[in-house]
Structure 1
Amino acid sequence: MGTSEIRAVYKNFLTQHEAQQLLFIQRGLAVSGYRPHVRSLTLFDLVLAEPRLLPPLVRVRQLVLDAVEEHFDRPCQVFVEHTSLISWSPGASIGWHFDSNRGYLAQRHFSAVLYLNDQGADFMGGTFCFLSGSGPLRIEPSTGTLLLYTAGELNVHQVEPVTAGERATLTMWFSLDQAHQEDAKVLAALSSPAMRGCGLPPTMYQTPDGADIRLAPLQRLGVTLVSQPQLQVPAGPSQEQPQQQQQFKAAQQG
């Protein structure tokens, strides 16, 4: 399997405005995370804390899922296993590893890192590096850059220590096993009585031109989407009919 098949980098995957929306959510609600100097906010945490802020994250999450399915040629076969908005402060780092290197992580098949701010302007250090035969392959963090890679031992990597500022990303893991998708837990929470009336807009999956981004995998499979015809409701009786009937009855009585 070639390098282009096991990883990919997409520049300008996200606009500055979209990145700022996710940064606002992360900075307002993230809590101390799973390692020192790291703060995180999972999708499930956001559902419980402030579901009205879900639309920007849900939309970008779907776009990243589409990118994973397309790059790895797995249409309608990939499930989001975990979604987190993560910030790394000075001192945060992680050594060489691969993302499915523990028994409880074996369900992870693909990974994605979407950068929400810029190295040099917003933080120093924190470079993502892949292990390679010719030395570390370094990925320059910049706003809107999306990094995709397989989660197994072909992609051993590290994140160098952050030395200043705050490095922010949307980090996601994906599974080919539907039993490990996070959606079931999230949807169960959203369906609870406590969430009624939270006001999630039905347009949160739509692009500016009105297309539904959830249908992209079907379109890549060659499925032709036909819009559902509008049901024509017959018009009710005209207002003239009762008047005509009354006039007819009056004529008969006369």
Structure 2
Amino acid sequence: MAAMAAADHPRILLHRFLSLELCKELEFVHRSCCSVGYRPSVFSTTLSHLIATNCAHLILPFLPIRERIKEKVEELFGCEFELFVEFTGLISWCRGACIGWHHDDNRPYLKQRDFAVMDGERLTLTLWFTRNSAHDEDAKLMALLSQAAENYKFDKRECYLPSPASDNMYWFSHDQSGFDIRCARVHLLGYSFCSTSDVKCTTSASSNDSLELLNEPLRLGRGDEIFVKEFVNSLHALQVLQFYYWKAPELEKSRRETAGDMESSRSSILRKSSDMELKLPCNHELAETILGAIYYKEPETIFDWDGLSAAVAGWENYSTKLRRDLSSFMPYWLSNETIFYVNPLELQICKE
């Protein structure tokens, strides 16, 4: 009956299947970690990419969603315990992109169905399922996790710091112009990447050389001020910044409650000179056209550097907790040869 229902109604709408907070968390992961996608105007965040950039802990929000969707698909098609997840990823299509499925000779079920995004950025959680265990995503992910096992030991200091992929994975190219995704997302929020010293920054003779600065320590600038915090690279800065915009209401409430105990925001900033901003080959006008600045509205709070300082601590606590969970889950994944969400309460009972 379920199979017949699926044939009669090929699209199933599950209202409020994901909470708004979980959607915002996935948006945070994508906007702070994504790379260029498989076709023009498409950006993607895959689980394998997160592992490869030392952000394996950020796969954890995906796990309960994968399991819930898989169970629902098996129920719908009457194939309980028969499916494997072949692919999990966040895909966003931006202005001018065609959305749909490519035809694949190896996977004939993928037909060409295209439609266009008229404005902004459309973010979609995409999962592919298969009955063929040879295409099981978990086996590939477990191999990647095992290769990088040393990085997932919680006793390593600041083991949650991201490590960028190659620069070309962040470069969006369009009509002989382009922009680096990391630069674009920072710029659309009103910030810039700046040097960690007052040494004059000049445009390199090679665009590739100048983009390499994004893999070095840097600071965030806004207007004529620079945040004193030094970030290990651009991904580190971008994750903190995106975390700030995700958690702005909570951070603002916490800031008001502890306002009397906090130092003045003046101690968190430096004066900025034009020579301190990194000169990078990024077409900001193109970035605004493609990504749509309307999706990067200011939080409903008045910006101050204290809020960003609070975001640094909040992001570290968030990342530390996920790293701790990842370290706890790994033995269960290895013994079961599959990746799944482990309820913290059940985990505690098992340990006792």
Indicate the residue corresponding to 1:26 in structure 2. Answer: 30
Q: Distance in 2 between matches of 1:16 and 1:165?
A: 19
What is the deviation of 1:12? 0.9
Say whether 1:179 aligns with 2:184.
Answer: no
Contact 2:99 2:114 in 1 (8 A): yes
Indicate the residue corresponding to 1:55 in structure 2. Answer: 60
Q: Secondary structure at the match of 1:14?
A: coil
Change (3 A) 1:90 1:205: same
What is the deviation of 1:92? 0.7
Indicate the residue corresponding to 1:189 in structure 2. Answer: 144
Larger Rg, first or second structure (1 or 2):
1
Q: Secondary structure at the match of 2:32?
A: helix
Indicate the residue corresponding to 2:118 in structure 1. Answer: 163
Higher relative contact order (CA closer than 8 Å, sequence separation 6+): 1
Q: Distance in 2 between matches of 1:5 and 1:161?
A: 23
Indicate the residue corresponding to 2:106 in structure 1. Answer: 104
Counterparts of residues 7-18 of structure 1 (less than 5 Å): 7-18=11-22
Indicate the residue corresponding to 2:341 in structure 1. Answer: 205
What is the deviation of 1:183? 0.7
Q: Distance in 1 between matches of 2:144 and 2:343?
A: 26
Q: Distance in 2 between matches of 1:33 and 1:85?
A: 10
Indicate the residue corresponding to 2:48 in structure 1. Answer: 44
What are the superposed Cα offsets for residues 195-220 of structure 1, whole Å, 9 maximum, x if unpaired? 44153514782569x579xxxxxxxx
Contact 1:189 1:195 in 2 (8 A): no
Q: Distance in 2 between matches of 1:94 and 1:177?
A: 26
Change (3 A) 1:12 1:35: same
RMSD (Å) for aligned C-alpha atoms: 3.0
Indicate the residue corresponding to 2:180 in structure 1. Answer: none
Indicate the residue corresponding to 2:81 in structure 1. Answer: 76
Number of equivalent positions: 165
Q: Distance in 1 between matches of 2:114 and 2:23?
A: 21
What is the deviation of 1:59? 2.1
Q: Which runs of 5+ in 2 are unaligned?
A: 155-322, 330-339
The amino acid of 1:205's aligned partner reads Y
Contact 2:92 2:121 in 1 (8 A): yes
Contact 1:69 1:78 in 2 (8 A): yes
What is the deviation of 1:76? 1.1
Counterparts of residues 102-181 of structure 1 (less than 5 Å): 102-106=104-108, 151=109, 158-181=113-136
Q: Distance in 1 between matches of 2:112 and 2:8?
A: 16
Indicate the residue corresponding to 1:128 in structure 2. Answer: none
Identity %: 33
What is the deviation of 1:102? 2.1
Structure 1 stretches of at least 4 aligned residues deviating more than 6 Å after TM superposition: 228-231
* Greater helix share, structure number: 2
Change (3 A) 1:32 1:73: same
What are the superposed Cα offsets for residues 33-55 of structure 1, whole Å, 9 maximum, x if unpaired? 01111100111111112012121
Q: Secondary structure at the match of 1:84?
A: strand
Contact 1:55 1:200 in 2 (8 A): no
Q: Distance in 1 between matches of 2:83 and 2:346?
A: 21
Q: Distance in 1 between matches of 2:29 and 2:10?
A: 31
Q: Secondary structure at the match of 1:57?
A: helix
Q: Secondary structure at the match of 1:35?
A: coil
* Greater strand share, structure number: 1
Change (3 A) 1:41 1:205: same
Q: Distance in 2 between matches of 1:159 and 1:229?
A: 48
What is the deviation of 1:105? 2.2
What are the superposed Cα offsets for residues 52-110 of structure 1, whole Å, 9 maximum, x if unpaired? 21211122122211211121121111001111101110001146x6x6x422224xxxx
Q: Distance in 1 between matches of 2:120 and 2:43?
A: 13
Q: Distance in 2 between matches of 1:39 and 1:8?
A: 25
Q: Distance in 2 between matches of 1:229 and 1:94?
A: 45
Q: Distance in 1 between matches of 2:351 and 2:26?
A: 37
What are the superposed Cα offsets for residues 122-141 of structure 1, whole Å, 9 maximum, x if unpaired? xxxxxxxxxxxxxxxxxxxx
